[in-house]
Structure 1
Amino acid sequence: MLLWNRPDGPVSYTLILAHGAGAPMDSPFMDDIAQRLAARGVAVARFEFPYMAARRHDGRRRPPHPQALLLSCWREIHAEVRQQVTGPLAVGGKSMGGRMASLLADELGADALVCLGYPFHAVGKVDKPRVAHLADLKTPTLIIQGERDPMGDRPTVAGYRLSGAIHLCWLAAGDHDLKPLKASGITHEQHLDSAADAIVRFLAGPVQE
């Protein structure tokens, strides 16, 4: 099942947005960012991986399926959306959803990749980075990251070798959900607006160049 947020006016881009490991496609974060993007002319299609869809039916929490199954699901959803839309099509997601998209972006021939809170490593496992494939990524990529994200803060990410196709957008004092510290004087809503603005600017680039 696809959950769509479509602009009232012309569509500049379509983005398939996958959820993170622990929250569904209609979590407050996913709702907020999808609505903000649709208001800015980007159509957003959300979906759920099978383990999360099963939780919706019986309420039981499950861990994500093995990576191969998650990637297979991504391929099916991309093919489904590609048949429904014309124009440029981006892939991406929140945390795990974005990481899975990053593993497939080149294969799928995506026009762009957008990751929100990329899990560069598991919490507390800085010594086990998940970045090997990012060194050779060819798809134009935007990663929006909170500066204090426990799965990849600014100092840690600075030490990784990332492809020149990857653009990083750092949000001051933001955590994994892009929430800033209260002491920063910035609200979560402001960061979500900044994220949406950055995505729209980024998507406008690759297709027009």
Structure 2
Amino acid sequence: MSKFSFYMAHGAGLGHSGGFLDKFGVTFCRTQKMNYLPLTFEYMSEIEASGKRRPPTRFPQLVDEFRNKLDQNASLNSLVVAGKSMGGRVASQLSSDERVAAIVCLGFPFYQQGKPEKHRLSFLHEINKPCLIIQGTRDAFGKPEWVKQQTLNPNIKVHWFEGADHDFNMLKSLNKNQSQVIEEINDVIKSWVDLDFNIEA
């Protein structure tokens, strides 16, 4: 069993059932040496149970909820906390937890959709652990021409996927589907973690 565990939080509008994260989790469990622990916030559990849409809980409460989930597995250490979109923004606030070894963000929402002036760089300033952000070049929440102009925290590495949008769907002209991209995303994560932390099964 791996000495690392990988907590994955979902985005604002869709949980782990169906869509990108469903495929990602299956591929992760097949290809990685880490324990995969999907984290569903309480508001999303209520959506899934009732079928009624509702906005996410206030952000500070989401951070507390993520931290509480870690506390429920207090025996685990050497954690990688991760998230898709909003979930990555929440995970980024846990770097001060001594159990957290690294952070992975898939499709980080650098700013509100199409509004770079309403950016969220402040969420990245205090990160004191290695952080990998995997981003598509067509992501409306953080395009490369804007992100590359910013001075990011030196603990952060950004890996770009050419032609991918916020959910890592690809341009048809590139002859690559989302499932293939998910395989490549997992390769990127594995290489990054193996290099920095020398994970062994």
Q: Structure 1 residues 105 and 26 mapped into 2: Cα distance closer, same or farther (>3 Å)?
A: farther
> What does residue 21 of structure 1 align with?
12
Relative contact order (alpha carbons < 8 A, sep ≥ 6): 1 or 2 greater?
A: 2
Q: Secondary structure at the match of 1:111?
A: strand
Cα drift, residue 165 of structure 1: 1.1
Cα drift, residue 182 of structure 1: 0.5
Matched letter for residue 83 of structure 2? G
User: Unpaired runs of 5+ in structure 1?
Assistant: 1-9
> What does residue 35 of structure 1 align with?
26
Q: Structure 1 residues 34 and 12 mapped into 2: Cα distance closer, same or farther (>3 Å)?
A: farther
Selected match of 1:55 from 32, 47, 52? 47
> What does residue 149 of structure 2 align with?
159
> What does residue 196 of structure 1 align with?
186
Cα drift, residue 33 of structure 1: 1.1
TM-score normalised by structure 2 residue count: 0.92
> What does residue 79 of structure 1 align with?
71
The 1-side partners of 2:110 and 2:126 are apart by: 15
Cα drift, residue 28 of structure 1: 2.6
How many residue pairs end up in the alignment? Answer: 198
The 2-side partners of 1:35 and 1:196 are apart by: 11
Matched letter for residue 184 of structure 1? L
TM-score normalised by structure 1 residue count: 0.88
Cα drift, residue 202 of structure 1: 1.3
Deviations 1:75-129 (A, max 9, x none): 101122342x35x210011000010110222245410100000000111221011
Cα drift, residue 185 of structure 1: 2.1
Contact 1:37–1:43 (CA<8 Å) still a contact in 2?
Answer: no
Matched letter for residue 110 of structure 1? V
Which stretch of structure 1 is more off in the superposition, 25-34 or 113-122? 25-34
The 1-side partners of 2:13 and 2:3 are apart by: 30
Q: Hey, which bits of structure 1, 4+ residues long, moved more than 3 A? A: none
Which stretch of structure 1 is more off in the superposition, 171-180 or 199-208? 199-208
User: Unpaired runs of 5+ in structure 2?
Assistant: none
Identity between Structure 1 and Structure 2 (%): 31
Q: Secondary structure at the match of 2:135?
A: strand
The 2-side partners of 1:81 and 1:207 are apart by: 21
Contact 1:25–1:48 (CA<8 Å) still a contact in 2?
Answer: yes
Deviations 1:24-51 (A, max 9, x none): 1223311211121111222210121111
Cα drift, residue 63 of structure 1: 0.3
Q: Secondary structure at the match of 2:115?
A: coil
